[in-house]
Structure 1
Amino acid sequence: MAKSNEKKRDFFWLSYSDLMTSLFFVMLVLFVLVYTMQNKLISDLGEKGRELDRIKEIEKTINNIDTTYFKYDKVNKKHILNMHFLFPSGSYNISQIYPDKRVDLIKAGKVIKELILKYPVEDNIKYLIVVEGQASKDGWKGNEDLSFHRAQSLTWLWKLNNIGLDKLQNCEIIIAGSGEKGIPRTKPDIKTANQRFLITIVPKIGQMKK
């Protein structure tokens, strides 16, 4: 009987030892797993923080773009081309109507291009640029399409003068026309107030599929 009890005790301690060893191994695996995940999370957060700081740096550069050609609207985060236009109703070819503004329009395009080229492609900095045309409330029924064609005319002028933003590796350009709508709009909305171009420059880090 004594030997039987002794065997039971030996079996109990052996089983207990195996259980503790297994628990220790499980805890060790969990510790390594948590430690690895924690380090990865810290690394990811650090990378995101650096990306955010870079975006803020680029946005600051964008917001301070040459005021000779652009006026920045802080509320709507858009650049207003700092030129006045008075298109005849139904017209949109900016080169034909405003040959005197051609030089300044080309310089404005170069300012945007130089900004994009400031950061090398290897830095993985991408830009989304929206060239938006606006129209005044002059009674013309096709102002929405007209404002689009005016924006398109501006980008054509840039292309013809070696400022093809859409050809840059780190840039995607969108042409838009908001007609008599869109924001911002100058008040009072008189005939010449809103015949203008708005440029939205959005920096991002990562891939941009075309």
Structure 2
Amino acid sequence: MSRLKFRDEGESHNFWQNYTDLMSGFLIVFIIASLAAYSEYKGWVDMFTEAGVEKSNIKDVVVTAEIYKKIKSFEVAKNNLNKRFIKYNSTFKRFECSVPVQFDPNSDVIPEKYKKDLVSAGEELIQTLQVSSEDMKNQIGFTIVIEGRAAKPWNMQSPNVEQQKYAEELSYRRSRNLFHLWQGNGVIAKMEAENCNIFITGSGYGGRFRYTGKDEDKNKTFIIQVTPYIKN
């Protein structure tokens, strides 16, 4: 069997020599990366040692600090997200569903024409959660709150207790129906695969950071609160 030879400008080309050079290059990169990682770790250790943290606890503290950095990275990344149906409100620090659902008066039934867009909004929320890297999956969990609200009628100044209670119950049922819509279309299962705990609530005419005045109708939207946390 003849031996395969490569030639470049009349000179024999040694394949294994180039292969060795390539692997040597990879080794150098690995060593540099390892030194950089060790340097960062040692920086954490020195900082916590000076702060009086016991040596036996430093490793746990360093790991927790690294996870915290990843959570902050998620917080920064979500500020730049602006999907079609899920938008991040940087003023109120929350996600808002921009699908303009118009429920029939006193009804919690989601009209058929809005369901497709609401499912798409759920898929966009999943993409938002996936901003975090794969190595966070066993370390970071998310609490998701689907909050329903109600817009006050134009002639209502200050709702009484009965009116507020009714609006809270109605907005809760609307949020619950959004949850069931997502559940029936596989959205909830995908969220749970991203370490999410999902809760539903209704604030009626209440809730922090409501739109007021001419923007009162914007309170009809669903508010989505996403809070990352460190898993035990």
**Are 2:78 and 2:88, in contact at CA under 8 Å, matched by a contact in 1?**
no
For the residues of structure 2 that align with 1:192 and 1:38, how far apart are their CA atoms?
A: 55
User: Aligned AA for 1:123?
Assistant: N
Tell me which residue corresponds to 2:86: 70
Tell me which residue corresponds to 1:193: 218
| CA displacement, residues 53-91 of structure 1 (integer Å, 9 cap, x when unaligned) | 110112223333343112222243211111223322211
**Are 2:182 and 2:188, in contact at CA under 8 Å, matched by a contact in 1?**
yes
User: Aligned AA for 2:145?
Assistant: V
Alignment map for 1:30-109 (pairs within 5 Å): 38-94=54-110, 97=111, 99-109=112-122
**Which of the numbers 135, 138, 161 marks the counterpart of 1:123?**
138
Tell me which residue corresponds to 2:127: 114
Tell me which residue corresponds to 1:164: 188
* 1:123 aligned counterpart, secondary structure: coil
* 1:153 aligned counterpart, secondary structure: helix
* 1:164 aligned counterpart, secondary structure: helix
1:184–1:71 CA distance, 2 compared to 1 (3 A): farther
| CA displacement, residues 83-112 of structure 1 (integer Å, 9 cap, x when unaligned) | 223322211111xx2x22222111111122
Deviation at 1:48, TM superposition (A): 2.7
Tell me which residue corresponds to 1:133: 148
Deviation at 1:135, TM superposition (A): 0.3
Unpaired segments ≥5 residues, structure 2: 1-48, 157-161
User: Aligned AA for 1:126?
Assistant: G
User: Aligned AA for 1:124?
Assistant: Q
| CA displacement, residues 123-175 of structure 1 (integer Å, 9 cap, x when unaligned) | 32101000000001136931110000111111111011111257436111110
Deviation at 1:50, TM superposition (A): 0.6
For the residues of structure 2 that align with 1:100 and 1:169, how far apart are their CA atoms?
A: 29
For the residues of structure 1 that align with 2:171 and 2:220, how far apart are their CA atoms?
A: 8
Cα RMSD (Å) of the superposition?
Answer: 2.8
For the residues of structure 2 that align with 1:90 and 1:181, how far apart are their CA atoms?
A: 17
**Are 1:135 and 1:178, in contact at CA under 8 Å, matched by a contact in 2?**
yes
1:70–1:167 CA distance, 2 compared to 1 (3 A): closer
Unpaired segments ≥5 residues, structure 1: 1-33
Moved more, 178-187 or 125-134: 178-187
User: Aligned AA for 2:114?
Assistant: K
Per the normalisation by structure 2, the TM-score is 0.64
| CA displacement, residues 38-63 of structure 1 (integer Å, 9 cap, x when unaligned) | 42354344223212111011222333
Q: Choose 1 or 2 for highest CA Rg.
A: 1
Deviation at 1:191, TM superposition (A): 6.3
Tell me which residue corresponds to 2:170: 146
For the residues of structure 2 that align with 1:173 and 1:51, how far apart are their CA atoms?
A: 22
1:188–1:78 CA distance, 2 compared to 1 (3 A): same
User: Aligned AA for 2:211?
Assistant: T
Per the normalisation by structure 1, the TM-score is 0.70
* 2:220 aligned counterpart, secondary structure: coil
Is 1:155 aligned to 2:182, yes or no?
Answer: no
**Are 1:109 and 1:163, in contact at CA under 8 Å, matched by a contact in 2?**
yes
* 1:67 aligned counterpart, secondary structure: coil
